[in-house]
Structure 1
Amino acid sequence: MKSNTKWICIIIFLIFAGLIYVYQLWRVDIINTPLACSEDGVWELASHKIISEGSKMNYTTERLGAPIGYVTKDFMNVSYLPKLWMNIWACFTDNYILSFNLGYLSGYVLIAVITFLVLSQLGVCPEVSTISAVLYSFLPYHILRGQIHLALSFYVIVPIAVYYILKLMGNEKYSINRKSIGLWIIAMILSGMDGIYYAFFSCFFLCVAIFYNVLNKAPWKKIIGCIFSIGLICIGVLLSVIPNLIYWYENGINRSAVGRQSSEVTFYALRLAQLILPVTNHRIEFLERIKAAYNRVIIITESDWATLGLCFTVGFILLLIHAFRAHNEKEESIFTKLSVLTYCGLAYATIGGFIEIQAVIFSLIRCANRISVFIAFFACISFSIVVEKALSYFKGQKSYVIYIVLFLILCIGIYDQTPKNDSECYSTFYDSDTKAFVAEIEATDPEAMILQLPNVSFPENGMVNEMKDYAHFVGYLYSDKLRWSYGAMKGREGSVLLNNLCSLSTEEMVKQAAEIGFDGIYIDRYGYKSDEAEILESTIYEITKQEPIVSANNRYVYFSLGQYIINNNISFNQKTLSENLIKIVNGDGMYNKETNDKDEWYWCQNDSSIIIANYSNEELTVGMSFEIEVYGNQNGTINISCGDSNETIYIDGNNQKQTFNKDFYVLPGENEIVFTSDMQNISIENGQRQICFRIINEDISVEY
């Protein structure tokens, strides 16, 4: 134990030195500047601020997604361990940026220490284990994902999962006692709580171990152990998603929140070349040019971050070569197991691999390139064994010679694995102009609720013109009391309200925003074409007669609605809020909306329906009006029903357009209005559509 403590202290020192070098920490103010600078990293930073403000593991706040609030439980996240780790760091300081940076950077230490302990358990000497553990912690996968994919960067469970996979694989004797069983159970459950990808890949390699054991006639206890390990991992996943399951039970499943397409599987698959080629933006110009030439002929995705680095590429190639060596049937080495696992990982995750067959069944696991962190650990073990064997030839030398050789390997490895650092990226998101702009808003309208434009979906909307995804979080990150509209989960009531509100004319949007309770309107000009932003701003100015606050960098604009509300004697209007929580959805037999300069309409079949989705928590009386026009010279009836309400419209050939006005009693959730006609469908567009009538200019209002 004392020996391990000494080496762990050395690891901590080496990690600390490596972080200073890789991130140029002498040039970065980690107290006030996040290492994340864009897109997903901004969401991660906002999530951590929510923790710092007291949400802890719930990730809910009233300061986002206004007026409804911010709840992300539709976005299933099994990454319980990274959340717990970041929560721990948030307890030490109120400065969310500092705790965010420290939580991320300390992950390097934790990964290295766990890797060292696992390698030691596999019989690697402490000197080599130390060097390999530090190199594994500084994988390009870790550095390039960084705080952008914080949960994936926290791959602490991967070495532990691989250790138990190897122990449960083959004919090697594995001594079992009460203590080892307890550690195994804990390790497997935790493997299910470090992200759905690491849980899934652990189960995949356990299945490989089962197949390997069957073919090699391993003891049945090991096969049972693999099966139980998969079950324990599933328990860990289930424990992580309990809050999500409870939320879905109470609020219904939201299928709009996360969209995954099977076609994305090939896009995010692993490329073998990307494992062994140098890291993009390599420190050596010659190697940088080689990688740049390769990148020009492919579509670059996150699989570019799968690079193993020089040291682990050696281990990886040795594992590939090992499969071609002649083996004694009675001999079974760890190299054999690692080689089998590596080949199976490649067969599954590379373009054209088994991942594409899996995608036909389910596409939740789409980024197979993330298996590279497992392959990297296989290579890490291989590299460690080879280095230790090579160092055995130096037994007659003094010990400092061995230490010098290992230190050179470490330096070369770190230099090779870590790309050139662009410290200017730290300031691309956080800047003094934006901070001053938000501070001025907070001074003008303290505790205001602010409508953010352009209105964009959350999460995973993508870029809008020059505005990056999650850029709207900037207001929240810089403010202490203000409430912001961005962050309403798509498919839920907050998103429906904002979509309805922002689809109105500018004048009506401003009026209804004030009635709902918004105190101001914030505009990110990067989200518009220049002429669109100018028209929007001039229109809002004409409506409010209020000079806007403009950021010094000329990107952001804020209109206070305070004086407009006073001048027009506007107060909170529950009717306006409820109307914006109503959404019309196409039902069966109804085609998508069509428009011209004057009207908008839906073509319908003779048996069709329209859905009134009530996203409020109360039963509402909804007034609905529209015109019905029959296609072709037909006579007949159209029966319109909703629940117990029923009405029939009579159509004759001379007067085919009828006006319909009726109040419907709608419950929270989806309410179906059914149209049934005795008239015939008529085929149009070469049989592509069968239509009977159309609904023109539908309008709804809530009755109070």
Structure 2
Amino acid sequence: MIWCIVLLVLCSLYLNYTLGLSSGVRFDVPFTYEGDGLEYNLLTKTMIETGWWTENPVVGAPDKLEMYDYAIGNTLDFFVMKIISIFTDNYALVMNSYYILGFFLTALCSLYVFRQLRITYPVAVFGSILFPFLFYHFSRISHFNLTAYYMIPLIVLVILWICNGEPLFLKRGEPGEPVHLAVTQKGVIAAIILLISATHPYYGFFGLLFLVVATLWSASRSDTMIPLLNGIISGMLLAVFAILNRLPSLWYGFQHGTSLAISSRAPFEAEEWGLKLIQLLLPAPGHRIDFLADIARKYTVSRPLVNENVSATLGIIGSIGVVILLGWIFIREWQPIQKKFGGRRELMDQLSLFTISGILIGTIGGFSAIIALVFPVIHSYNRISLYIGFFSILAMLIILQIMYEQFRNKPYFCPVFLVLLLAVLTLGVYDQVPAWSSLTSGSDKEREQEFLDQEIYFTHVEDTMPPGASVFILPDIGGFPHSSPPGTINELDSLKPYLHTHDLKWNYPTMKGRFWDNWQVKVATSEPADLLDHLFFTGFTGLLIDGYGYHDEGEAIIEIYQNLTGIEPVISKDGRYAFFDLTGYMDEKKAGMTSPHFEEEKIAYLTTMKANPELNNPLFGTWVRENLSKTGYPDSPGSSKVSSSITPLITVVTPNGGEIWQPGSTQTLQWNYTGNPGSRVTIDALRSGSILTTIASNYPIGEEGSGAFNLTLPPYTPLGSDYRIRVTSTRYPGCTDTSDAPFAISAG
């Protein structure tokens, strides 16, 4: 028990150091409030308010949001957050608490597994801190489901049991007796672990692949069928549990058909988002030591297919473990190795096998490319790096354990060993977690302020409306779960109003490909007067306009609705939102109709809409949105005045195509800006359309509508003719521009 307390205390200290939790971090403001992070804000708030995450009656108006098409499958995550929500109904506090809890759960599960493998407590605590503090845990904060990887140590334990031929579910009795089912303690534990692991699509799937490897390994070394059958039963349990986890989505798809518009995956994505061996060994991006940060940056500049796979880095300690396991096959028979490792040599054999298997599966062009031909849903194979990280840390613990056992009887060895462990552990955390991971950085303060300002605004909007009132949001940003918003609106930004209210209903989000999503596309692209009629017959009494979706920040469309309704909108503090309370306007429209007449008109309207073949075409909304993204979004819904493109608030001037620069030369990057895109920009270098490196982040945008940055090209810059520069507002990431055409890097 004392070592569990030590583990929790150390975990708390390192969390405070890396995240800055005691430096004014607000737990009532979500740690992630943009992009995919908003999706988990929605799911968590839905779970708290409705009991579970699959249906939400206050979004998707005039109907409701049914998320069965989007089978994320993270049942255990929501179950744990459900328990947390017993103590608070603040969804942000629940989410943030679960993110922090993930560190402690991963540490405790790791400690349990290391002790099962006979690693002494001090060494086990060392590894149990390193694993949850991998760079991956911090870089994936916008995907809360990915940061909850505490089941990985547990499934590794089951995999090792399979490798060692443990009779988990079947065993042979006395000689001559047949094989029979056996309820063993390890079998029960394994079944529980497999059930837990099945709740996470990626980690459960990777666990299944390693189970296959372990089963083949064990069966090839046994003269009976028991290891093979135990492995097959384990794999079947994991698969069955995974299917049960997705059963509501499967049943919904059987009843209503599969949504063709929900983003499907193509086999090539397994390579686009695959693992790179070198990325396991590289320093973390933005490393605290400039020299190491420069190494990571140089690779990013000069190599293709660099994306979320940068999160695969394992740090110095994990990298040493990977190198040892990859080279183990060459040194395992060396006499000193056999003598030192003794009975642990077999465990090292297994860890080496799994590490090599993980790399062969996950790496770009590896077995994942073959698996994706028949099962393309799992595409981000770089995430298998967590398993490889655990294997490598365990290998390092075995080496430390051997050192401890050899010298523990020496005078003063134990206290010196403990001090050295603590020092190396601190250096390991320092190495694995960049300083920018702190929740007290400048961008995090901006996130907090944005959330609090919007909390005030939307609370005021809710206070002015009757409970249960429905509000329609303009412009349409592209459905759920993957949106493609116009202007400078960020992906999924239309979720934000719902996150700040409790009694209002909102039209967004709706599931792509379903009837009500198509209806919203039709309404949002209607003439303003027609749009108000649509809202009238479906019970909407509020209209919210997001000015960031229009090149004039919504001035024209706001004026149109002011003239049509005679209502003065409520404008947000930053001028982004304009809210029209249409209650009185709708009452006036209804005043000339008797209740039976209104109900008759309403039924006729809904009947007409539901009979419309366009709205029943699953791809209608997708086609309309794709056409708008190519031809340009109108100044107002249904307006004949259409801009040739969405005028960017930032325009890259130099380089803009055709330039030829030499490595080692100094060049000036220039851009113009209009409106108010914020005071800072991020400058990225692109090659073949992919980000190679971030040249500058949080750089001053400039003065009087123009900005510049002097860039000295490194002498090692690869030659090529497919370079571009992109400049993006740090305040509004949707406000961005890229060189119109590529420029070249040439030797002369």
Answer yes or no: is 1:185 the counterpart of 2:191: yes
Map 1:153-552 onto structure 2 (within 5 A).
Answer: 153-169=147-163, 178-193=184-199, 195-217=200-222, 219-297=224-302, 298-325=304-331, 327=333, 333-392=346-405, 394-395=407-408, 396-398=410-412, 399-421=414-436, 422=438, 423=440, 424-430=442-448, 431=450, 432-447=452-467, 448-455=469-476, 456-530=478-552, 533-552=554-573
- Post-superposition CA distance 1:659-681 (Å, at most 9, x none): xxxxxxxxxxxxxxxxxxxxxxx
Q: Matched residues in 2 for 1:184 and 1:362: separation? A: 26
**CA 1:407–1:105: 2 relative to 1, 3 Å:** same
Map 1:87-102 onto structure 2 (within 5 A).
Answer: 87-102=82-97
Q: Matched residues in 2 for 1:119 and 1:311: separation? A: 17
Runs of 5+ unmatched residues, structure 1? 597-704
The residue number in structure 2 matching 1:126 is 121
TM-score when scaled to structure 2? 0.74
- Post-superposition CA distance 1:463-504 (Å, at most 9, x none): 533211121111111112111111111122321221221232
Q: Is the 8 Å Cα contact of residues 190 and 233 (structure 1) preserved in structure 2? A: no
The residue number in structure 1 matching 2:716 is none
Q: Is the 8 Å Cα contact of residues 45 and 91 (structure 2) preserved in structure 1? A: yes
TM-score when scaled to structure 1? 0.78
**CA 1:464–1:286: 2 relative to 1, 3 Å:** farther
- Post-superposition CA distance 1:231-256 (Å, at most 9, x none): 01012112211222332343333232
The residue number in structure 2 matching 1:664 is none
**CA 1:28–1:472: 2 relative to 1, 3 Å:** farther
Q: CA deviation at 1:458?
A: 0.6
Q: Is the 8 Å Cα contact of residues 207 and 226 (structure 1) preserved in structure 2? A: yes
Q: Is the 8 Å Cα contact of residues 434 and 553 (structure 1) preserved in structure 2? A: no
Structure of larger gyration radius: 1
Q: Matched residues in 2 for 1:126 and 1:501: separation? A: 63
Q: Matched residues in 2 for 1:226 and 1:565: separation? A: 65
**CA 1:28–1:97: 2 relative to 1, 3 Å:** farther
Runs of 4+ with deviation above 4 angstroms: 170-177, 328-332
Q: Matched residues in 2 for 1:410 and 1:574: separation? A: 68
Q: CA deviation at 1:326?
A: 5.1
Q: Is the 8 Å Cα contact of residues 394 and 402 (structure 1) preserved in structure 2? A: no
Q: CA deviation at 1:225?
A: 1.1
Q: CA deviation at 1:218?
A: 6.0
Which residue identity lines up with residue 509 of structure 2 in the other structure?
G
Aligned residues: 582
The residue number in structure 1 matching 2:644 is none
Q: Matched residues in 1 for 2:18 and 2:40: separation? A: 21
Q: Matched residues in 1 for 2:507 and 2:617: separation? A: 27
Q: Matched residues in 2 for 1:210 and 1:191: separation? A: 18
Q: Is the 8 Å Cα contact of residues 44 and 53 (structure 2) preserved in structure 1? A: no
Map 1:566-585 onto structure 2 (within 5 A).
Answer: 566-569=587-590, 573-581=602-610, 582-584=612-614
Answer yes or no: is 1:47 the counterpart of 2:43: yes
Tell me, what secondary structure is at the counterpart of 1:25? coil
Q: CA deviation at 1:230?
A: 0.4
Q: CA deviation at 1:209?
A: 1.7
Q: Matched residues in 1 for 2:29 and 2:276: separation? A: 34
- Post-superposition CA distance 1:87-121 (Å, at most 9, x none): 11111112222222112211111110010010111
Runs of 5+ unmatched residues, structure 2? 172-181, 592-597, 628-748
- Post-superposition CA distance 1:592-622 (Å, at most 9, x none): 99xx9xxxxxxxxxxxxxxxxxxxxxxxxxx
- Post-superposition CA distance 1:137-187 (Å, at most 9, x none): 1111112112x2112211121111111111211568999862222212222
Q: Matched residues in 1 for 2:224 and 2:129: separation? A: 35
Which residue identity lines up with residue 475 of structure 2 in the other structure?
P
Q: Is the 8 Å Cα contact of residues 273 and 305 (structure 2) preserved in structure 1? A: no
**CA 1:171–1:240: 2 relative to 1, 3 Å:** closer
Tell me, what secondary structure is at the counterpart of 1:523? strand
Q: CA deviation at 1:373?
A: 0.8
Q: CA deviation at 1:58?
A: 4.1
Q: Is the 8 Å Cα contact of residues 501 and 580 (structure 1) preserved in structure 2? A: no
**CA 1:477–1:169: 2 relative to 1, 3 Å:** same
Q: CA deviation at 1:130?
A: 0.4
Tell me, what secondary structure is at the counterpart of 1:270? coil
Q: Matched residues in 1 for 2:116 and 2:195: separation? A: 20
Q: CA deviation at 1:411?
A: 0.4
Q: CA deviation at 1:59?
A: 3.4
Q: Matched residues in 2 for 1:313 and 1:435: separation? A: 44
Q: CA deviation at 1:20?
A: 1.1
Q: Is the 8 Å Cα contact of residues 199 and 233 (structure 1) preserved in structure 2? A: yes
Q: CA deviation at 1:219?
A: 4.5
Which residue identity lines up with residue 354 of structure 1 in the other structure?
F
Which residue identity lines up with residue 339 of structure 1 in the other structure?
S
Q: CA deviation at 1:375?
A: 0.7
**CA 1:212–1:178: 2 relative to 1, 3 Å:** closer
Tell me, what secondary structure is at the counterpart of 2:575? coil
**CA 1:46–1:28: 2 relative to 1, 3 Å:** farther
Mean Cα deviation higher: 65-74 or 173-182: 173-182
Q: Matched residues in 1 for 2:24 and 2:46: separation? A: 24
Q: Is the 8 Å Cα contact of residues 169 and 209 (structure 1) preserved in structure 2? A: yes
- Post-superposition CA distance 1:64-107 (Å, at most 9, x none): 11111122111112221111111111111122222221122111
Q: CA deviation at 1:586?
A: 7.4
Tell me, what secondary structure is at the counterpart of 1:26? coil
Match of 1:9 among 5, 15, 18: 5
The residue number in structure 1 matching 2:14 is 18
Q: Is the 8 Å Cα contact of residues 513 and 617 (structure 2) preserved in structure 1? A: no
Q: Matched residues in 2 for 1:575 and 1:281: separation? A: 60
Q: Matched residues in 1 for 2:352 and 2:223: separation? A: 18
Tell me, what secondary structure is at the counterpart of 2:473? strand
Tell me, what secondary structure is at the counterpart of 2:122? helix
Computed over aligned residues only, the root mean square deviation of the Cα atoms, in angstroms, reads: 2.5
**CA 1:326–1:108: 2 relative to 1, 3 Å:** closer
Q: Matched residues in 2 for 1:245 and 1:217: separation? A: 39
Q: Is the 8 Å Cα contact of residues 120 and 401 (structure 2) preserved in structure 1? A: yes
- Post-superposition CA distance 1:540-590 (Å, at most 9, x none): 222112111111111111122223223433756233233333342779xxx
Mean Cα deviation higher: 356-365 or 522-531: 522-531
Q: CA deviation at 1:393?
A: 5.3
Which residue identity lines up with residue 444 of structure 2 in the other structure?
Y
**CA 1:66–1:429: 2 relative to 1, 3 Å:** farther
Q: Matched residues in 2 for 1:381 and 1:219: separation? A: 30
Q: Is the 8 Å Cα contact of residues 166 and 227 (structure 2) preserved in structure 1? A: no
**CA 1:177–1:578: 2 relative to 1, 3 Å:** closer
